[in-house]
Each structure stands twice: as structure tokens, then as C-alpha cells.
Amino acid sequence: MILERAEKALEGHKLCNHCLGRLFAKLGKGTNEERGRAIRFTLNMERSLRGLPSIEEPDECELCHNIFEEIPKLVEAMVEADKDIEFETFLVGSRFPEDIKEREKAIWEELGIKTGEPINREFNRELGKAFGRRTGKETSNNPDVVFIVEPFSESIELQINPLYVYGRYRKLVRGIPQTPLPDFEDSVASIICRAFSEAFGGKCVFKGAGREDVDVRTLCNGRPFIVEIKRPKRRKGDLKKLAGKINASGKVEVLDLRFVSAKEVEEVLTKNHRKEYLALVFVEEDVTPEEAEEVARKLTDLKIHQRTPWRVRKARADKIRVKKVHEAEARWIDEKHFELRLVTDGGLYIKELISGDNGRTRPSVTDLLGKRAWCERLDVLNILDD
Ligand SMILES: [Zn+2]
């Protein structure tokens, strides 16, 4: 069957050993070129038994136009294209002209071939092997870089996959926004991204797991964040050294830096963490230590119905969220002030939990106390993982 089909193919078409072998790619082991050579050799012995002339490899293959001979040249062009980029793993993709793909399909149909492999797949594999031998780099399904090669025009496009770094940040001072805002010189994002861009030589995008207001600090174990480094030139930055640079800012500290996959990024950013806060509550009328403790007792395990706060109504959908306060502890300071330490569901607005936001948050500290209260100062102490 194989020899019969091969003979028909070679009588009708001028095919190189790659293209001949590829018709039977799903059979046996080895490369298509080896397959083609073996089939041609055996076929020619048979033909000589029958007194027929050999069918040698043509000067130019009518299907691939001897494109496989261009592989060494393409490898050098790939090496040139990536010379400023640090990477360990790669993948090769190729774009073949439509008419070649159609001619291949026509031959399969004409000969009833069910064991063939498309030309671009063989080409990607052979080019990848040659590039690996030349550079010592390895192929991977989750590669650092992807080469998209147009074999006939010799154009090479280099896709550099992004790097993701996970970390947690502490914001040690009030008065800096998480992401750049007009009127603010610095932000948590710009302080962190500056150091990352320097270390990896790419454009950096900062994504926090939630955010705090400009006047709120984030302390203790810090808020999780991700930095995406787009088209990095270097992939092996020293994260410890990088953390040291950020921490020297005195405004922002980072900890637990590590490289993560795109899948982990998704998990970090969508997880709704419980949070621990420390709020300084100001009470318009006087407040006693007993009243403060009573408020904390009532808040513990309480469900809060919170309509989108007035101050963020333009940025967020207007709806009512139900969130829970899990823990509350009060510490009386003076007639006008007490501290509240709270553990709440993620997404509960604490300033409004205290003030009541003109009835938009119920119940609130103002409700529970029967006296108007405001949040005078707020810190995020901990962002709690499960
Ligand atoms: Zn060919």
C-alpha cells in the first residue's frame, strides 16, 4: 500500500524526500526526510525488478520549493532577531503561503492520504530543532519567546512573552495614591514599577489586589499585587536586590516577591481577601469607654448593607452590597476618640461603615452609637489569606 501510493505520488508530482515522507508521517518513527528517503530507496529497488527507471529526488520540489534547505539561513536570522533578548525557552510558528497549503491538500485528496502531516508542522519542528542545536535553548509549551517565521520572505517576528511577579506591599506613609493621580508626584505603582523597569528592561504594569485610599496606610503583611513586565529584555532579575531598592524609598516596602504564572495572577487578583483594619473614630458628642465597647460588641458578626458610597458613585456601579464584620475591638482614647480594630469581608468601605454615609450604609457606627461618628484615620493592618 505504502509503495503503491508513493509510486503514484512520484509519477504525478516532483516531490523531495521531506514532502514524500510527510505523506506517511503518522506511520513509524523518524523524521519525514528519513521516511521519504527509505520509501524512495525501496520503491526504486522494486521498480528496477520491474525494469523501470528510478525516480530520483527532483532539483526543485513542486510542493515546498526546497524550503527545508533554507533552515540554516533562517536559524541565523532568528539568532540575529533575538540578540538583545534574554530567554531560555522558545517556540517556532510559521506562516506558509495559502497556495502551498492548498496544493498539499489536493495531493492528499488525489491519493487518498490519511497519514499525512501539514507542511508547517514539519517545518516548525525542524526549524526548532536546528535553532535548539545552534543556541542550546529548549522548546516549551509555555515559552519565554515565540518566533513567527515566514519562510519564503524570510521575515521573522519575535513575540516576547510577559513576566509576572507576585509580591505584597506596605504603604508606610499617608498621602500617596496606589496608582498615579494628577497632583501627586509619586504612587505605590510608580515607585514599584520604576525598579522593575530598570531590572527587566520592559514596560511594567502594576495591579493591586484591591486598593486603599490616598490617606490610608497599608501595614503588617501588606497588600498582594502583581507586576506584569511586557516584552522584558532580561528574565532573570535579582528580586531581593530589586526589593531592597524599593524599600529604600521609605514610602513603600515590598515583600515575598516571586515569579508566577498567568494562572496564578488571575487567582491573586480575583480573590476577595478578608481585611484587618485599624480605624480612629471621632465622635461629635462625647463618647464613654462603655459606649465604645458596646459598639464593638454589636459590630461583631454583623451583616452590613452598604450602598455604593456617595464619594465613589461615579466610578462604581450603584448597588447594595452585603458584607460582614467578623471581628471588632474598641480601645477608648479620650472623650472624642476611640480606636476600632476590625476584621471584615473584602470590599466593605470602612469610612462609610463608621459615618453611615447619610443612611447609605446600615447599620453604621453612627447608628449603633446614636451619635455622629467619622473615621479620622485608617490603616489596613493585614490582608488575610485563607
Ligand atoms: Zn518538498
Average pLDDT over residues 243-262: 95
**Beta-carbon neighbours within 5 Å of ion ligand 1:** 16, 18-19, 61, 63-64
Helices 188-200/239-247 angle, 10° precision: 140
Q: Please give the pLDDT value at position 225.
A: 97
Beta strands, E only, 29-144: 89-94, 138-139
Task: Say yes or no to pLDDT of 252 above 70.
Answer: yes
Ligand 1 center to residue 316 CA distance, Å? Answer: 60
Average pLDDT over residues 91-117: 96
Q: Please give the pLDDT value at position 356.
A: 97
Task: Say yes or no to pLDDT of 259 above 80.
Answer: yes
Task: Say yes or no to pLDDT of 180 above 70.
Answer: yes
- Which fold would CATH assign to domain 163-270? Alpha-Beta Plaits (3.30.70)
Cell 467578623 belongs to 326
Task: Say yes or no to pLDDT of 373 above 90.
Answer: yes
Average pLDDT over residues 181-203: 94
Contact 80, 134 (CB under 8 A): no
CA atoms within 13 A on the CB side of 297: 6
Contact 18, 122 (CB under 8 A): yes
What confidence tens digit (pLDDT) does each residue in 36-56 have?
Answer: 999 999 999 999 999 999 999
Phi, psi of 45 (to 5 degrees): -65, -45
Average pLDDT over residues 81-102: 94
Phi, psi of 309 (to 5 degrees): -55, 145
How many H helices and E strands in the chain? Answer: 12, 14
What's the CA gap between 152 and 133, in Å, rounded? 22
Q: Please give the pLDDT value at position 154.
A: 93
Task: Say yes or no to pLDDT of 385 above 70.
Answer: yes
**Cell digits of residue 13:** 508530482
Average pLDDT over residues 18-35: 96
Task: Say yes or no to pLDDT of 258 above 90.
Answer: yes
What's the CA gap between 41 and 51, in Å, rounded? 15
Ligand 1 center to residue 67 CA distance, Å? Answer: 7
Phi, psi of 162 (to 5 degrees): -70, 160
Q: Please give the pLDDT value at position 386.
A: 59
What confidence tens digit (pLDDT) does each residue in 290-329 have?
Answer: 999 999 999 999 999 999 999 999 888 999 999 999 999 9
Ligand 1 center to residue 18 CA distance, Å? Answer: 5
Average pLDDT over residues 115-142: 96
Q: Is 213 designated active site? A: yes
Sort strands 216-230 and 373-384 into parallel, antiparallel or unpaired: parallel
Domain boundaries defined on the chain? 2-160, 163-270, 274-384
Ligand 1 center to residue 126 CA distance, Å? Answer: 13
CA angle 327, 275, 171 (to 5 degrees): 135
The answer for residues whose C-beta is within 8 angstroms of residue 129's C-beta and 6 or more apart is none
Please provide the CATH number assigned to the domain covering 274-384: 3.30.70.3190
What confidence tens digit (pLDDT) does each residue in 305-315 have?
Answer: 999 999 999 88
Task: Say yes or no to pLDDT of 364 above 90.
Answer: yes
Ligand 1 center to residue 40 CA distance, Å? Answer: 14
Q: Please give the pLDDT value at position 236.
A: 87
Query: Are domains 163-270 and 274-384 of this chain identical in fold?
Result: yes
Give me the catalytic one of 82, 84, 213, 318: 213
What confidence tens digit (pLDDT) does each residue in 228-243 have?
Answer: 999 999 998 899 999 9
Average pLDDT over residues 13-27: 97
